[in-house]
Structure 1
Amino acid sequence: MKYYISDLHLFHENAIEFDHRPFTSLQEMHDTILKNWNERVTNGDMVYILGDVSMRGKKEDLIAFVAQLKGRKILIKGNHDDVSDYRYQQLFHEIYDYKEMHDMVGKEHYSLVLSHYPIFSWRGMGSGRILLYGHTHESEEDRFYQQCLTEMQAHDCRHVYDGKLRAYNVGCMKPYMNYTPRTLEEIMKSREMEA
């Protein structure tokens, strides 16, 4: 199974206030993330973390926490990810700045672009490739980005195909993510229900 999530911001106290996260403390947030993750993910699963695991990668507490998260973790680096500590690097199966890959929902194949950052024009967007991203959290910036994509679609821009442009924010704080790694199918269904 493949799962996706972004912007955990572990050990980042300001994230609770910044995102209006429903936690009274970092410990409560960490306990929820660990519980949700390990109840769902097995060690045979792949979890694509689209950046900002934490503010840094050198803290002993961070290394100990990430080591408890099940699954083969693939990190798509974000602006707050510091992977200079070799011990921290070893917790990830692979580390990228950007990744193109495929996933399946039922018997249907999907091409994906994984990036921490929202991309205005990504490779394959005109042929149905889906962008999964993070970084913008639950913000006006994210709403503006999604509005731009809608406008591009409405004005039949040259890179836009006749289907719907699909770019999904997989930030853990999004209501459809709920601090839990999600499958592509879950992400797509949740976002389509919102539309």
Structure 2
Amino acid sequence: MKYYISDLHLFHEKAIQYDHRPFDSMEEMHEAIMKNWNDRVTNGDIVYILGDISLRGKNEELISFVARLKGRKVLIKGNHDDLSDYRYQQLFAEICDYKEIQDSVGQEKHGLILSHYPIFSWKDMGRGKILLYGHTHESEEDKYYQSCLRQMQKNDCRHAYSGKLRAYNIGCMMPYMNYEPRTLEEIVIGSDRF
């Protein structure tokens, strides 16, 4: 099984306030994230983390925390990821800036672009490739980005779009993410409800 998540911001106390996260403390947030993650992910699963796990990579507590998260972890680097500690790097099956993969929703296969940052024009966007991203949290910036994509599709300004342009913010604080890794199907269906 493949799972996706972004912007955990572990050990970042201001994230609770900034995102209006429903936790009274960093410890409560960490406990919820660990439980949500390990209750659904097995060690045979792959979890694509689209950046900003934390602010630091040298923190002993961070290394211990990430080591206890189940699954093969692939990190798509974000602007807050400090990878200067070799021990921390070893917790990931792969570390990269950008990745292209395939996944399915039911019987339908989809090409995916994985990036920490939203992209205005991604590879094969008009041919059905889906962009998963983070970085913008649940912000005005993200609303503006999504509005721009809708406008691009409406005006058919660059491509002959064969279908809906699909770019999903998978920040853990998004209502359809609820602080746990999600499958592509859960992301697609969940985000359409909000």
The two structures have a TM-score, normalised by structure 2, of: 0.98
| Secondary structure of residue in 1 paired with 2:137 | coil
Matched, 1:161 2:158: no
Structure 2 CA distance, aligned partners of 1:13 and 1:158?
A: 42
Structure 2 CA distance, aligned partners of 1:56 and 1:160?
A: 43
Deviations 1:149-193 (A, max 9, x none): 000011012235131000000000000000000000000001222
- Aligned residue number for residue 55 of structure 2: 55
- Aligned residue number for residue 69 of structure 1: 69
Does the CA contact (< 8 Å) of 1:5 and 1:48 recur in 2? yes
**Number of aligned pairs?**
194
- Aligned residue number for residue 149 of structure 2: 149
Question: What is the one-letter code of the residue matched to 2:13?
Answer: E
CA shift for structure 1 position 113: 0.2
Deviations 1:42-64 (A, max 9, x none): 00000000000000111000000
Q: Which runs of 5+ in 2 are unaligned?
A: none
CA shift for structure 1 position 72: 0.2
Structure 1 CA distance, aligned partners of 2:130 and 2:157?
A: 17
Deviations 1:7-49 (A, max 9, x none): 0000000000000000010000000000000000000000000
The two structures have a TM-score, normalised by structure 1, of: 0.98
User: Which of structure 1's runs of 4+ aligned residues deviate more than 2 A?
Assistant: none
Identity of aligned residues (%): 73
Structure 2 CA distance, aligned partners of 1:117 and 1:158?
A: 21
Alignment RMSD (CA, Å): 0.7
CA shift for structure 1 position 135: 0.1
Question: What is the one-letter code of the residue matched to 1:57?
Answer: G
